[in-house]
Amino acid sequence: MKRTTLLLNQMIMPRESINLHTNTGIKIPYNKRIEQDLRHDLSVFIKENNNKINNVFDIQIPDLKTLEKGTKPEADVANEELVKRPLVVEHLKRIFNPNKNVSNYYMICGEHGTGKTTLTKIASKEVGKGVIYFDVPENPTIEKFGMAFGKVLNFTFEEHISFTAQLINKILGITPGRLIGFGIIFDNKAFDPNFSFIEKPRLEKWERVLEAFKCTSTLYKKKYGKPPVIIYDSISLLIPKYLEILDTLQDGAKKGADERKFVAVFVSSEGSVPQRMEQRSASSRADKPLIEIGDLSKEETMEYLIKKRGINSVEAERLYDLVGGRLVNLKSVADKSLAGQSFEDIKTIVFNNIFNNFEKAKINPNQKNHEIAKIIIRALLNSNNILHVSMLRELTKVEPNQLLENNVFAYHPSNKTVTFQSRSIEFYIRENADKFIK
Ligand SMILES: Nc1ncnc2c1ncn2[C@@H]1O[C@H](COP(=O)(O)OP(=O)(O)O)[C@@H](O)[C@H]1O
Ligand SMILES: [Mg+2]
């Protein structure tokens, strides 16, 4: 195994040339000597391991430049409409600009539409260098996930090429910054040059990209004295179908933290994701408490509606009562109000959406979860809209997970509490008290 490190180290050495090969006296370019040494190392490695090596594959390493530049993503909010949330942005910037000894990974959570993506993009763009921002694509498949992941790291999925061809490629300096690492499949287990260990003879695209990122992060840290940061946004899209990817990313994040190689940041909208991640052993490196991004305060909401969107203060108050400080909803009702829709029309639309969510959660009258939902609703109304998650189980005798998936109730991992998913849900319930409260 030591060999592999040696190989990697040699491969990343600068490509100067020297003229003489000491033993033979024959003029031989320095790079060729590296190649010979590599071949020698490899043959020793193979012998030492009883020829059990089945295959040799290369791991492409994305250009260090991609990490050096950073992704610098653009937030999709016009500057005039943006409510600055300096406390959160500063907090995120500190995380995205880690010192060399940071040994945590992070979890940013909050309900859908609270502004997580926007703030994360703003902070990662401001820090810039060394910050990779990756947003999980909608309706992911293994292929789509792998391609999108590769794209942010500038990873070209070239065909696996043989060791020799790869080596020559590198040695001739055709693609500097790439093809500098490789792994060896040994006994059907793949080792990367840093000896992480994958129980798989073949890697999926996304796994190759992840392995490559790990290698490059080592180079980055060596050069800049601090670990790069990788942000995985919208990771809730990976569940329930691709739990395996989520788990691998989390295990990688833990290892990256243990070895102080890179800092991973997960951004999630779904309460059950942080819940699951917490239950796994890899959570020992997660920074606690989690960072929860919540709704705007009333003051910020008024700033948004009145100053940023130009809505009059009477209407702004009513809209705040209807949807609270949830940005995604505020934007939607503000757009409608500015397009000339009356408050009553807007309210009907909001309520129809909520009705649909209740249908999906099966909590409308005569639906299967109606009685359980009523128990929770009453308990929430009696306890100032906050319940510890364990109370939920006691009250309903049902595992809370099931109840938290349908945008009616929200789970807050930072203090393990449950609330209504938004202020508009509470508003709706109060207006339909005969159905849900009595
Ligand atoms: N600080 C902000 N000021 C104004 N609009 C915002 C702000 N943050 C988010 N928005 C808007 O609210 C909507 C939801 O924001 P987003 O960042 O996508 O939320 P999340 O990632 O939490 O689901 C987007 O349309 C975005 O344009
Ligand atoms: Mg988002």
Ligand at shortest distance from the CA of 75:
1
Domain stops at, among 237, 263, 292: 292
Share of the chain above pLDDT 90, in %: 55
Q: What is the mean pLDDT of residues 397-402?
A: 76
39 and 147 inside one domain: no
Supply φ then ψ for residue 306, to 5 degrees.
Answer: -85, -60
219 and 93 inside one domain: yes
Confirm whether 274 is domain-assigned: yes
Domain stops at, among 271, 292, 313: 292
Confirm whether 172 is domain-assigned: yes
Which is more confidently placed, 240 or 249?
A: 249
Confirm or reject: Cβ of 77 under 6 Å from ligand 1: yes
Confirm or reject: Cβ of 112 under 6 Å from ligand 1: yes
284 and 179 inside one domain: no
Residue 49: pLDDT band (50, 70, 90) is low
- Its domain, for residue 260, covers 66-155+210-292
State the Rg of the chain over Cα: 27
Distance separating alpha carbons of residues 333 and 262, to the nearest angstrom: 41
Q: Of ligand 1's atoms, which has the minimum distance to the CA of residue 234?
A: 21
Which is more confidently placed, 406 or 48?
A: 406
Residue 36: pLDDT band (50, 70, 90) is low
122 and 168 inside one domain: no
393 and 244 inside one domain: no
Mutate to test the pocket of ligand 1, among 77, 85, 109 (most ligand atoms within 8 A of CB): 77
Domain stops at, among 175, 190, 206: 206
Confirm whether 327 is domain-assigned: no
Q: What is the mean pLDDT of residues 196-213?
A: 69
Distance separating alpha carbons of residues 264 and 255, to the nearest angstrom: 10
114 and 247 inside one domain: yes
167 and 234 inside one domain: no
137 and 116 inside one domain: yes
44 and 97 inside one domain: no
Number of domains in the chain: 3
Confirm whether 101 is domain-assigned: yes
Which is more confidently placed, 75 or 414?
A: 75
137 and 214 inside one domain: yes
In this structure, the strands spanning 291-292 and 53-59 are unpaired
What's the pLDDT score for residue 161? 40
Amino acid in the structure at residue 21: H
User: Do the beta carbons of residue 410 and residue 404 sit within 8 Å?
Assistant: yes
User: Do the beta carbons of residue 98 and residue 263 sit within 8 Å?
Assistant: yes
- pLDDT, tens digit, 9 for 90 and up, residues 359-379: 999 999 999 999 999 999 999
Residue 113 CA to ligand 2 centre (angstroms): 7
16 and 150 inside one domain: no
